[in-house]
Amino acid sequence: MSEQPTPSQFPSVPLRELASRITDGSHFSPTPQEHGYLIANVKDMKSGFIDFSSCTRISTAAYRELNATGCTIRNGNVLLSKDGTVGRVVVYKQDEEIGALSSICIIVPTEEIDSAYLGHALQSQICVRQFENFMSGSALRRLVLRDIREIEIPVPSVEQQASIAKILDTLDTAIRETESLINKLKAVKQGLLHDLLTRGIDANGQLRPPQSDEPQVYKESPLGLIPREWELQELGDLADVSRGKFTHRPRNDPAFFGGEYPFIQTGDVALAQGGYISSYSQTLSERGISVSQEFPIGTIAITIAANIADTAVLARPMFFPDSIVGAVVAPEHNIRFVELSIRRAKRALNARAPQSAQKNINLQDLRPLLIAMPSRSEQDSITARYDALQVRLEAEQIAVKKLLQEKSGLMDDLLAGRVRVTPLLESMQHTAALTEA
């Protein structure tokens, strides 16, 4: 049984009493136009805003028809997704009026309710539980306007509403800024990986100049221009490359599973996204390991079926089936550098897979894979530079998870009246002032 939220100390009021209008958008999709007015759908509702770049455009005549029937969004409206993806909320804060399709519920708050506060309240567990109750027993995830109007909203004084909204808005800003930084770091990481594996790091610890600026620093190769000091080597010469195995049939015989030996699948490798893998979805028994093969710590796991050339580095000894290949890199080479080079070749390896229902490659595709190899010291410098950025990215991802958890818990405490608003707001303002100083 799911845990029920603690009732709020504030009076609960049906949403219909807090809004002058609760309606949805058009049930008919106007013909898209190259130019014209914008019309939004659920897909355009992002983290607290409408993404205009993904909205469809419609003609002036179609927009006027929407406007006449109340299917338009105005500044101060609160939007709730009601079909398919239920529970997205946007407090619309734009002067530009746009149209809406029926998957969006448009709420026009009265003066008794702060629109920002209402937006947060609709995202709280107090309201989410009500959404789930109204949708129970239905195969299609959707809310109907009749039920939305009956959603009970905890309503403190208008002054408290504004303070609660300000506190949660502050957290939202921190979350958005951190998410934006994460996206920038991901983009930087992709560019850096390309530069590190094509330009490398010189003796001064800097990226070599671009090929266009100093072509004499590079030489032609089957992989394109590479630094003159680098040499091409096949993966099979850098590592012992062999397939995993699980020879027993049927594969799902329970006697071979449930022991203490980790047995990873292609999905586990894909989730690792090239990083170290210590988690697993399945284990083998003593009988299971007798028909499988163990790979040591540091093995590069490479998927060769369904999803091609996803990689992970084993953080502990593991077993895996023949849909995964293990590359045990020779001690004179840097494991992470080899893994990054395989990851870079993912598109080329994927292109080699037959275009069948079950895409796959084999050892004959992997062992001859050409890798541009610098000296061991340069391999170490390249991976250190990459790992430093990866550590920063992971730290920001942890930070945003903590902020989201903090917001979720604090939101429910504030809406339930378990936390005093004024001291908390003063504390946050003091902390912000110290940070700016």
Residue appearing with tokens 């061991």: 376
Q: Per residue, what are the HEC states of the chain?
A: CCCCCCCCCCCEEEHHHCEEEEEECECCCCCCCCCCEEEECHHHECCCCECHHHCEEECHHHHHHHHHCCCEECCCCEEEECECCCCCEEECCCCCCEEEECCEEEEEECCCCCHHHHHHHHHCHHHHHHHHHHHCCCCCCECCHHHHCCCEEECCCHHHHHHHHHHHHHHHHHHHHHHHHHHHHHHHHHHHHHHHHHCCECCCCCECCCCCCCHHHEECCCCCCEECCCEEEEHHHHEEEEECCECCCCCCCHHHEEEEEEECCHHHHHHHCCCEECCCCCEECHHHHCCECEECCCCEEEEEECEEEEEEEECCCEECCCCEEEEEECCCCCHHHHHHHHHHCHHHHHHHCCCCCCCECCHHHHCCCEEEECCHHHHHHHHHHHHHHHHHHHHHHHHHHHHHHHHHHHHHHHHHCCCCHHHHHHHHHHHHHHHHC
Q: In the predicted model, is pLDDT for residue 432 greater than 60?
A: no
Give the model's confidence band at 85: pLDDT under 50 very low, under 70 low, under 90 confident, else very high: confident
* pLDDT attached to residue 268: 94
267's CB contacts (< 8 A; 6+ apart) are: 281
Contact indicator for 12, 6 with CB cutoff of 8 Å? no
User: Do 368 and 380 sit in the same domain of this protein?
Assistant: no
Q: Is residue 66 part of a domain?
A: yes
User: Do 164 and 144 sit in the same domain of this protein?
Assistant: no
* pLDDT attached to residue 250: 81
User: Do 134 and 249 sit in the same domain of this protein?
Assistant: no
* pLDDT attached to residue 3: 47
Pair type for strands 307-314 and 276-277: parallel
Give the model's confidence band at 423: pLDDT under 50 very low, under 70 low, under 90 confident, else very high: low
User: Do 111 and 169 sit in the same domain of this protein?
Assistant: no
Q: Is residue 36 part of a domain?
A: yes
User: Do 117 and 162 sit in the same domain of this protein?
Assistant: no
* pLDDT attached to residue 418: 82
User: Do 359 and 415 sit in the same domain of this protein?
Assistant: no
Q: In the predicted model, is pLDDT for residue 308 greater than 80?
A: yes
Pick the more confident residue, 391 or 434.
391
Q: Is residue 316 part of a domain?
A: yes
Q: Which of 155, 171, 199 is the last residue of a domain?
A: 155
Q: Which of 14-18, 408-412, 420-424 has the lowest mean pLDDT?
A: 420-424
* pLDDT attached to residue 75: 95
Give the model's confidence band at 43: pLDDT under 50 very low, under 70 low, under 90 confident, else very high: very high
Q: Is residue 1 part of a domain?
A: no
* pLDDT attached to residue 139: 64
CATH number at residue 169: 1.10.287.1120
Q: Which domain holds residue 260?
A: 231-373
* pLDDT attached to residue 317: 96
**Distance from C-alpha of 16 to C-alpha of 7, rounded to nearest angstrom:** 20
**Distance from C-alpha of 31 to C-alpha of 299, rounded to nearest angstrom:** 55
User: Do 88 and 166 sit in the same domain of this protein?
Assistant: no
User: Do 81 and 17 sit in the same domain of this protein?
Assistant: yes
Give the model's confidence band at 419: pLDDT under 50 very low, under 70 low, under 90 confident, else very high: confident
* pLDDT attached to residue 434: 47
Average pLDDT over residues 169-186: 94
Q: Which of 56-60, 403-407, 418-422 has the lowest mean pLDDT?
A: 418-422
Q: Is residue 5 part of a domain?
A: no
User: Do 106 and 172 sit in the same domain of this protein?
Assistant: no
Q: In the predicted model, is pLDDT for residue 151 greater than 70?
A: yes
User: What pLDDT digit, counting tens, does each position of 319-349 carry?
Assistant: 999 999 999 999 999 999 999 999 999 999 9
User: Do 338 and 263 sit in the same domain of this protein?
Assistant: yes
CATH number at residue 368: 3.90.220.20
Q: Which of 155, 178, 211 is the last residue of a domain?
A: 155
Q: Is residue 248 part of a domain?
A: yes
* pLDDT attached to residue 306: 79
Q: Which of 283, 244, 233 is nearest to 266 (CA)?
A: 244
Q: Is residue 4 part of a domain?
A: no
User: Do 23 and 130 sit in the same domain of this protein?
Assistant: yes
Q: Which of 4-13, 42-51, 86-95, 126-135 has the lowest mean pLDDT?
A: 4-13
Q: Average pLDDT over the chain, rounded to whole?
A: 90
Q: In the predicted model, is pLDDT for residue 430 greater than 60?
A: no
Whole-model pTM: value is 0.79
User: What pLDDT digit, counting tens, does each position of 220-241 carry?
Assistant: 999 999 999 999 999 999 999 9
Q: Is residue 95 part of a domain?
A: yes
Q: Which of 373, 389, 423 is the last residue of a domain?
A: 373
Instruction: Give percent of the chain with pLDDT exceeding 70.
Output: 92
Average pLDDT over residues 291-301: 96
**Distance from C-alpha of 379 to C-alpha of 384, rounded to nearest angstrom:** 9
The total number of structural domains that make up the chain:
3
User: Do 314 and 273 sit in the same domain of this protein?
Assistant: yes
Q: In the predicted model, is pLDDT for residue 95 greater than 80?
A: yes
